[in-house]
Chains A and B, each alone.
Chain A
């Protein structure tokens, strides 16, 4: 058995980096973490690198295969409203129960039972059904929205004027995860419906992001080996991904600084599998 004789990596020469590193180093010592637990914390954050999901496309166009985009489009939310336009009657007239016995009936609430007594059905049944308001998911609204003006779209509450004022005042205090959780993605998808407020909407989304970005960047770059759940709870899904990326960069840098960059580590994917096996055995 010989000594490995691996030389420690030289300390980084750039003064700025050195300063930042020392700050975190003292942070570790002050918190009294042992180097081993320190390293364990580092390991946990490093995500599975071989697997990279299809990223969500931001903007009016979506990415067909992105899971996040699919869930974004599913958003109807409590506030998502749709006003049936003058041509909606066509759809409504064929929801009348009894006309079609076999197969699922068209009903905005889905494959309801034989009675079909969901509120949307009843609303649509009535002769004055134009102008009735339905809550439908975004993907459906996007599909039905066309030149024939079957429906007109009303912006959800959080994208309306009153909430925009709130975002303008201070975007940092808003709990976007509760309102969203895909605030940015959903908002930019709304630009597909040529609403007169489009310009203000786009501006507001952009300004919200600009206002919140600094806080996210600061917190992700300066929280090392700490519980981040409190910082993350109020972030939108897009911001969470941003936060994770920042954390990963910080950890990789720390690893390099402590001379661990060359160390071969356990694959985090495999490690997670091992953890889960334990829980399976317990249950």
Chain B
């Protein structure tokens, strides 16, 4: 059946439904594009024949045309959904993605991601009367400016805004400014302790 490959692409994304980014299936896309090219060429031949009176070809042409449209839709949806996932990663991980994710991106996606980062940064800088506002901070309303955290792994030295450096060692506990460590908590380096 035509469009099997394209549907397989979509199904691949659906399987990773929790928002993870599977590896970019370049081979699959190429195969779909080849199929589309063959369909298109075949259709062109038949269209010319249909013009010269073979009206019984119309159904065939329509059949191929449906397949073309279907392939196009699958690919567009595949690429679009990946962009949604990439956008989510920017909000979860911050601006630097881990290697495991970056290897799964295509060159164009890397470009898109960088531009998204840039426009998001520009927008956040323009907020708050020119001072800038980090929108990824304080996703949950803060109760206190300082929070208590526990290290879950050896992270190394960490500098807070008054200039002092602290050593984030596994199982050590610290009392830190919330805005400094929110990102690290979301990344799983620190754990937020409620008293």
Spell out A's residues near B (CB within 8 Å): 1-8, 47-48, 50-54, 64-68, 70-71, 74, 87-91, 93-94, 100, 103-104, 106, 108-111, 137, 139-140, 143-144, 150, 259-274, 276-277
Contacts and interface: CB of A to CB of B under 8 A. Distances in A.
Contacts of A70: 7, 10, 73-74, 77
A269 B18 contact: yes
A121 to B, nearest CB: 13
B117 interface: no
A150 B121 CA distance: 55
A150 B100 CA distance: 50
Interface of B: 1-4, 7, 10-11, 13-14, 17-20, 35, 38-39, 41-42, 46, 55-60, 62-67, 69-70, 73-74, 76-77, 80-81, 84-85, 87-89, 91-93, 98, 100-101, 140-144, 146-148, 173-175, 182, 185-188, 191-195
Contacts of B35: 104, 111
A5 B144 CA distance: 9
Contact of B100 (A3, A5, A273): A273
B22 to A, nearest CB: 11
Contacts of B89: 50, 269
9 nearest CB pairs, A to B: A143-B66, A51-B19, A51-B88, A91-B59, A50-B88, A110-B1, A90-B56, A48-B19, A4-B148
Contacts of A67: 10, 13-14, 77, 81
Contacts of A100: 42
